[in-house]
Amino acid sequence: MPQYLTPGVYVEELLAGPKPIEGVGTNVAALIGVADNPDAPVGVPTAVNNWTQYTNLFAGPGPSSDLGLAVHGFFLNGGQRCYVLNIGKDGSVGGTSSQRGISALEPIDEIAIVAAPGFTDAVSYEAVISHCEGMKDRVAVLDFPSGIRDLNTLTRAATASGSASSSSSASGSATSPSGEGESEAEGESDTEGADETPPPPPAPGRRGGPGGGPSEEGSAARATDWAAQYGPYVWIVDPVTGKLVLAPPSGHVAGVWARVDGSRGVHKAPANETLRGAVDLEYALTPSEQGLLNSSGINAIRMMNGSIKIWGARTRAERGSEWTYLPVRRLFAFAEESIQQGTNWVVFEPNDRTLWNLLRRDVVAFLRRLWSDGALFGATEREAFFVKCDAETNPPENIDAGILTALVGMAPVKPAEFIVFKVSQYVAGSAGGEEAQ
C-alpha cells in the first residue's frame, strides 16, 4: 500500500483488465540436412528468411542437395522463416560424439515444424520424433522412402536392421534428388554379413501395389502423435541447375503448413492444398492404394484434377488415438504453449481466490478468441471449452506445496475427411420432394 504523507492529489494506475494471452507462432520451420557449401556453418541453427539468404550461406555451384531443394520448396510454398541446420557430410540427424545434431534446435522456442528432408532410415526417424516428443511444441514432417516397390512396407515401422536399404533407396539411386551416391559414412554403417545389396528402385511411375506380397521390413516411421509422414517423392526443377530432379516432399509440405497457418489458422488441415513447384510425382497412387496408406496414418500426395495436392491430414498416431488428425495435434500444441507463455505473470503471486479468478478470466478470453475464429466446436462457449480454477482444483495441501492447478478443456474442430452424399430415387410430388424446395 502506498503511503500518503504530504497533502495533495495522487494519481495511480490500476491494472483492471485482463492480461491478454497472445498466440505463439506456428509457421517457423527447422530444416536439417547436408549443405552443398563446404564452408557453411555446421551444427549451428541459422535463421533464413528467403532463398537468396540461403544461397549466400549454404548453396554450392553444383546440383542442390535435399536440404537445398527443401528450403527452396519451403519458401516457394508460402514459408517465410526457417532455421537451417547443416549437419555436415559425415554428420547424422541425431548428432555424433563430436558434432551436435538435432539437439541444437532445443533452445529455439519459435520453431514449430521440424523436417529432415531425405532422411528416411529408422535412426533418423527416431531422432526427429524423439526431439518433437520431448519438446512438445513442434511437430515433425517426415518423408517416406523413394523407390517403394511394396506399399505394405508402409504399414510397418522401419527398424535399424532395415534402415540401410531405406536410406540407400532415397540417396543412392540414379533418381535421387541430389544425384549423389551413398556416402562413405552410410556404407560403413551397413550391417556386416548382409545378404545382398538392395536392387535399384524402379523407374519413376512404376512400382508394386499393395498386393505385391509381404515384406519383412517396414518403411514407415514408428507410431507417434508428434509427426506426420508424406509421400511419394516429387519431381521439381533444381533452382541451381535448372534440371528436373526427384526431391523429398517434406520441405514443400512444411511450406504448405506455414501457408495455411497464415491464411486460415493452425486449426485448418494443411490438406487439399497445391504443392507449388512440383511438376510430377515419382509414381501415382490409386484411391485403393491411398486407402491402405490413410488407414496407416500415411498422407498421400496425389495428382487431383491436374494439380499435385496433399491429400491427407493424419499423424502417425496409433489407431483410435484422439490425436489422429494433424490439425488437432497442432492446435493443442499451439494452445498449450500460448497459455504457458501468457500466464508467466502468475508465478509467485499469492495463491488465493483472487488469483484463481484472474487466471480463469485470462484463459477464457484466449479460448473465446479461438472459438470465434472457428478453431473450437460448439454453438456456445460452454460447448466449445471450459476453464476450472477454484477451491476444488486447488485443495489446501496443494496450496501449501505452492501448486496452482487449472483444468482446461477444448472441443477441437476436426477435418471433414470423408464427404458422404446419400442419393436415392423418389416419386415426383411425394413428401420427399418438399425438402428440395
| Residue that finishes a domain, picked among 298, 327, 356 | 327
Same-domain status, 155 and 281:
yes
In a domain, 19, yes or no: no
Same-domain status, 296 and 220:
yes
Same-domain status, 181 and 230:
yes
Count of structural domains within the chain: 2
376 DSSP β-pair partners: 412
Same-domain status, 319 and 370:
no
With contact defined as beta carbons under 8 Å apart, do 348 and 342 qualify? Answer: no
Taking the CA atoms of residue 105, residue 29, residue 268 and residue 338 in that order, the dihedral angle to the nearest 10 degrees is 40
| Residue that finishes a domain, picked among 285, 303, 327 | 327
Residue 56 main-chain phi, psi, to 5 deg: -65, -30
Same-domain status, 225 and 109:
yes
Same-domain status, 52 and 152:
yes
Residue pLDDT tens, the chain, 437 long: 678 889 989 888 876 666 889 999 999 999 999 999 989 999 999 999 999 999 999 998 889 999 999 999 999 999 999 999 999 988 899 998 888 899 999 999 999 999 999 999 999 999 999 999 999 999 999 999 999 888 999 999 998 865 433 343 333 333 433 333 333 333 343 434 434 444 333 333 333 333 333 344 789 999 999 999 999 999 999 999 999 999 999 999 999 999 999 999 999 999 999 999 999 999 999 999 999 999 999 999 999 999 999 999 999 999 989 999 999 999 999 999 999 999 999 999 999 999 999 999 999 999 999 999 999 999 999 999 999 999 999 999 999 999 999 999 999 999 988 889 999 888 776 655 555 55
Return the sign of the alpha-carbon dihedral for residues 280, 281, 287, 293. Answer: negative
Residue with cell 508394386: 208
pLDDT at position 18? 66
Question: What CATH number is associated with residue 184?
Answer: 3.40.50.11780
Same-domain status, 320 and 364:
no
| Residue that finishes a domain, picked among 327, 356, 377 | 327
Same-domain status, 304 and 366:
no
pLDDT at position 173? 37
Q: What is the pTM of this model?
A: 0.84
Q: Which domain holds residue 399?
A: 343-437
In a domain, 94, yes or no: yes
Same-domain status, 373 and 426:
yes
In a domain, 115, yes or no: yes
- What distance in Å separates the CA atoms of residue 384 and residue 413, rounded to the nearest whole number? 9
Same-domain status, 199 and 82:
yes
Can you list the alpha helix ranges (DSSP code H) found in 136-224? 163-171, 184-188
- What distance in Å separates the CA atoms of residue 270 and residue 255, rounded to the nearest whole number? 10
In a domain, 14, yes or no: no
In a domain, 7, yes or no: no
Same-domain status, 314 and 349:
no
In a domain, 428, yes or no: yes
Same-domain status, 307 and 364:
no
